[in-house]
Structure 1
Amino acid sequence: MQSHPNVQAVQRALDDADARDGSGAASQVRLLPVAAHTAAAAADALGVDVGAIANSLVFDADGTPLLVLTSGAHRVDAAGLAARLGVTHLRRATPDFVREHTGQVIGGVAPVGHPGPLRTLVDTALAGHAEVWAAGGVPQAVFPTTYPELLRVTGGTPAEVA
């Protein structure tokens, strides 16, 4: 599984971000013993609070992909977020839309490693955790990071999303 193209793309994106920054702190993608398709399953497998899981949720924002990295402890307020973004229609993307824009499947969508850049919002609730875990491109892969690092590697914008 470590050789899966999605896992390799995520690790490459993490390594590239580290090389640009020079921090020497690139995260390493790790494999779980079983697939974790939900934040709760990932938290259980890692022995961490569900709020420390960065759910990668792709939305269809008037036909444009929007990646929202949200704490696993709550749900995105799509109507409120749409109003703040000035978007007419903001809805969870279909599996085909997700795969088209991320190259990854729902349950394993990583914050990085996509075919092209995605507008990304990063939930400010994740800042309350010293360590945050995110998907690594497939449902069995994860990587540890921090809130500031997540913002840096994704080029994301901090946002209240719940």
Structure 2
Amino acid sequence: MCGAELKSLPEGVQRVAAALQAKGHPHSPVMLDDAARTAQQAADALGIAVGQIAKSIVFRRKSDDAAVLVITSGDRRVDEKKVEALIGKTGRADAEFVKARTGFTIGGVSPIAHATPPVTLIDRELFRFEEIWAAAGHPHGVFRLHPRDLEHLTGAPVADVVQVVVAV
């Protein structure tokens, strides 16, 4: 990428593309034909398992009003008690808070290139997969990566932050 082709992308995707490029990430964002606001929609559009979607869930830490980003596997649910044990009491983050702190709208929150750097945790369940995809700053934008790339791109720790899956 030389930079000129970024100009036609939405602003959030441009920020993500620039951050990926700055970190030497080999995969640029791609724009999907349809919005992928949920992990299932993204997985369907990409033809992959829903667990391969690295979904970004934002919480609001009560002690300092910081954004807390949990990057989790698309087929898992965040266990808020586990998150709180690691970073303190949290609450729900509404759309206005998410947009103000991350610079992205819900459904397009990228794990990188936030307006204000969040407290970030990476779900260890993502490491079940060789390849994953994450939002690239817009509901139509995604980028490909390996789970280990998340550590390099975010500097965040890997943790057990999801609910226990019960086999039926």
User: Of the candidates 76, 81, 85, which is equivalent to residue 78 of structure 2?
Assistant: 76
The separation in 2 between residues aligned to 1:116 and 1:77, in whole angstroms, is 24
Residue 41 of structure 2 corresponds to which residue in structure 1? 41
* Structure-2 separation of matches of 1:98 and 1:76: 17
Measure the CA separation in 1 of the matches of 2:126 and 2:8. 26
Alignment of 1:123-138 (within 5 A): 123-138=123-138
Q: Percent identity?
A: 40
Alpha carbons 1:2, 1:31 under 8 Å: kept = no
- SS of equivalent to 1:127: helix
Q: 1:61: how far off?
A: 1.2
Deviation at 1:2, TM superposition (A): 4.7
Q: Distance in 2 between matches of 1:92 and 1:124?
A: 22
Q: How many residues align?
A: 154
Selected match of 1:65 from 61, 64, 67: 67
Uncovered stretches (5+) of structure 2, i.e. residues with no partner: 1-6, 163-168
**Structure 2 match to 1:155:** 155
User: What is aligned with 1:93?
Assistant: 93
TM-score (norm 2): 0.87
Runs (4+) off by over 6 Å: none
User: Contact 2:19/2:113 (CA < 8 Å) preserved in 1?
Assistant: yes
TM-score normalised to structure 1 length? 0.90
Residues 67 and 119 of structure 2 are in contact (CA less than 8 Å); yes or no, is this contact kept in structure 1?
Answer: yes
CA contact (8 A) 2:82 2:160 kept: no
| Deviation sequence 1:9-40 (CA, Å, 0-9, x none) | 0000101111xxxxxx4221001110011001
Contact 2:132 2:144 in 1 (8 A): yes
Match of 1:21 in 2: none
| Rounded Cα–Cα distance in structure 1 between residues aligned with 2:138 and 2:16 | 10
Residue 36 of structure 1 contacts residue 140 of structure 1 at CA under 8 Å; is this kept in 2?
A: yes
Is 2:18 aligned against 1:16? no
